[in-house]
Amino acid sequence: MQAAADELPERKIDAPWPETGGAEHFLKFIEEELKPAIEREVPINQQRQTLFGHSLGGWFALYTLFMKPDAFQVYAAGSPSIWWKNHYLLPVAKRWLTDRELTKPEEKSPLTIFLGVGSLEKPHMIQDAKALSELLRNSRSDMNSEFYLYEEETHLSVIFPFITRVIRNILKPI
């Protein structure tokens, strides 16, 4: 899913954006090659798998949640680039939530979603993460959604407290 020039913000440096896209191919690789390869080497609890991403990786974690929610049970998106491709993910999220709300409870897999962002990030990054968090929390779909705003953390420094919180939460006994 290559981003067109009109879907990207202006760069502050005099250089074009690097080539983008490939989320669907990367997800296919994870599902069809990477997960099976790991499962051949170590025992995996297929009911407790987490996808963690930061920045554009956070965008990918959310993309995966909305496109193939059964791929993982926990999704962690740190400082997700929700602004990417003119906020492409927001209407996708709304459609996914509508579909999930209409799905019978016994047909839904349990999901946990962590969103985290630093208070010193760009205002639109914070606003986008908060807006998506509210959308998830206000849906009638049964899922656990948690939002964390980390005081005095930047786009890069937020990774450490966020990943620590996610790991602590996913390692709790069921």
Which amino acids are annotated catalytic?
Answer: 55, 121, 155
63 φ, ψ (degrees, to nearest 5):
-55, -45
Task: Look up residue 29 and give its two tokens.
Answer: 């690789």
Task: Look up residue 53 and give its two tokens.
Answer: 């991403």
Whether 67 and 27 have beta carbons less than 8 Å apart is answered as yes
Query: To 10 degrees, the CA torsion angle through 32, 114, 84, 132?
Result: 130
